[in-house]
């Protein structure tokens, strides 16, 4: 993407803070001459430096850069599967877009893109429309409406739509997102960062949520897109026929414990959360004008929080954290991703250092160094 620094915006921010060019250079960790070159238009900061400038001057990435109109549509499109009670800030978006810029050189090393992608032209969260959509998707996937949607099917759909899974270990609590979606419009390639440090009963939902973004690039990165992705994920994993069955079984019981037990049996069968089953059964009842179940959302969350399963990372790797070789292998064998294969080709071709991996994967430099060693010498 062709770009240049928004000099007026940077100079204005410096004046507001009472900073000189040397002050900015010190904050970013570069020479004063580098800042001078940026402001003269002789050079443009690399993505990692842009992040530091944005943080130091409290500017958004779109305020830092000037993109010619003919290149505006090439800016990376990002979407977060946020953790509960977290808010996506401008800093989160700027950082993700910078990661997207770093992904561009990787694209030529990926497999040849496919000609056709699955697209949901008019995404809607209305119950009837949503159920029609997921019925069509399940039919395309060769699944009956009551069949279990397996991990292998979801993973295959990412690959079939040029969406490359990037498994990451971002911790169970400290990271903003459960998943990060980065679409490169000019290349028509998507990268889906999936945090493996999450509970197994939630993981399939997050994957289905990300698949919804793959199917709906026109609304990815918007509130509308997030609402649809959440609604689509629940309906795809547990569509109307299953929700009606779960409701019928739970509705004949009057004790909360029995209602929850009935719903939990379906959750266990489909390897999804109790909350997903409850939400779909509730939506089914509301659409059919049926009485609500004898449990509330708070009841479901209380049980769910008390009966958590294992983390995906713990199920995949023993011990934790995994050795770089095992981590790289899992991306290919478990998630069918060519990401690290392409990354190895890029590193060998360009001699890129571990700092690139640190920024690309949002990991500590020590982890990036070990990973770099495994990719270049393994």
Kindly report the number of other CB atoms within 10 A of residue 41's CB atom.
Answer: 11
Pick the CATH number of 4-72 from 1.10.260.40, 1.10.10.10, 3.90.550.10, 3.90.226.10: 1.10.260.40
pLDDT, one tens digit per residue, over 243-296 is: 999 999 999 998 999 999 999 999 999 999 999 999 999 999 999 999 999 999
For 201-226, write each residue's pLDDT tens digit: 999 999 999 999 999 999 998 999 99
Q: Measuring CA to CA, which residue among 359, 370, 375 is closest to residue 323? A: 370
Model confidence over 309-343: pLDDT tens digits?
Answer: 999 999 999 999 999 999 999 999 999 999 999 99
HSE at residue 88, side-chain half, CA atoms within 13 A, is: 17
Q: Is the dihedral of CA 212, 301, 148, 282 positive or negative?
A: negative
Coil, strand or helix at 294: coil
- The pTM for the full model equals 0.83
Rounded distance, CA 268 to CA 304, Å? 12
Rounded Cα–Cα distance for residues 56 and 344 (Å) = 33
Taking the alpha carbons of 27, 32, 34, 37 in that order, is the dihedral positive or negative?
positive
Mean pLDDT across the stretch 6-21? 92
Q: Which residue has the tokens 């620094």?
A: 5
DSSP string covering 141-197: TT--TTS---HHHHHHHHHHTTEEEEEE---SSSSSEEEEEEEETTTTEEEEEEESS
> Alpha-carbon distance 263 to 273, whole Å?
10
Instruction: Calculate what percentage of the chain has a pLDDT beyond 70.
Output: 93
Number of helices (H) and strands (E) in the chain: give both, helices first.
Answer: 19, 6
Distance CA 190, CA 221 (A): 13
- Residue-level pLDDT at 62: 64
Place of tokens 């090439």: 74
Extract the tokens encoding 129. Answer: 């429309």
- Token code pair at residue 136: 């069509």
pLDDT at 69 over 70: no
């Amino acid at each position: 993407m062709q770009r240049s620094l928004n000099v007026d915006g940077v100079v204005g921010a410096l004046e507001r803070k009472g900073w000189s060019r040397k002050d900015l250079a010190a904050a970013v960790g570069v020479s004063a001459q580098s800042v001078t070159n940026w402001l003269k238009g002789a050079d443009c900061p690399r993505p990692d430096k842009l992040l530091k400038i944005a943080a130091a001057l409290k500017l958004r990435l779109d305020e830092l850069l000037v993109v010619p109109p003919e290149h505006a549509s090439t800016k990376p499109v990002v979407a977060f599967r946020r953790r509960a009670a977290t808010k996506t800030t401008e800093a989160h978006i700027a950082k993700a877009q910078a990661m997207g810029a770093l992904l561009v050189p990787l694209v030529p090393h990926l497999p040849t893109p496919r000609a056709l992608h699955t697209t949901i032209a008019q995404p809607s969260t209305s119950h009837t429309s949503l159920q029609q959509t997921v019925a069509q998707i399940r039919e395309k996937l060769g699944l009956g409406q009551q069949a279990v949607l397996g991990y292998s099917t979801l993973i295959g759909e990412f690959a079939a739509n040029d969406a490359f899974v990037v498994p990451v270990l971002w911790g169970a609590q400290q990271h903003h997102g459960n998943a990060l979606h980065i679409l490169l419009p000019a290349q028509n390639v998507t990268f889906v960062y999936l945090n493996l440090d999450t509970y197994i009963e939630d993981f399939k939902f997050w994957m289905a949520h990300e698949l919804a973004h793959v199917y709906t690039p026109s609304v990815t990165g918007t509130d509308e897109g997030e609402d649809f992705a959440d609604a689509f994920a629940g309906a795809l994993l547990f569509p109307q026929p299953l929700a009606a069955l779960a409701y019928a079984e739970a509705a004949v019981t009057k004790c909360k414990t029995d209602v929850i037990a009935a719903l939990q049996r379906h959750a266990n069968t489909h390897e999804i959360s109790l909350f997903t089953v409850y939400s779909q059964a509730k939506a089914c009842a509301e659409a059919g004008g049926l009485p609500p179940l004898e449990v509330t959302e708070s009841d479901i969350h209380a049980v769910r929080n008390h009966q958590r399963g294992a983390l995906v990372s713990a199920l995949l790797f023993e011990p934790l954290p995994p050795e770089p070789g095992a981590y790289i292998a899992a991306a290919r064998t478990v998630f069918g991703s060519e990401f690290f294969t392409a990354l190895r080709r890029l590193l060998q071709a360009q001699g890129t250092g571990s700092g690139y991996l640190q920024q690309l994967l949002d990991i500590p430099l020590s982890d990036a160094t070990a990973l770099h060693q495994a990719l270049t010498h393994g």
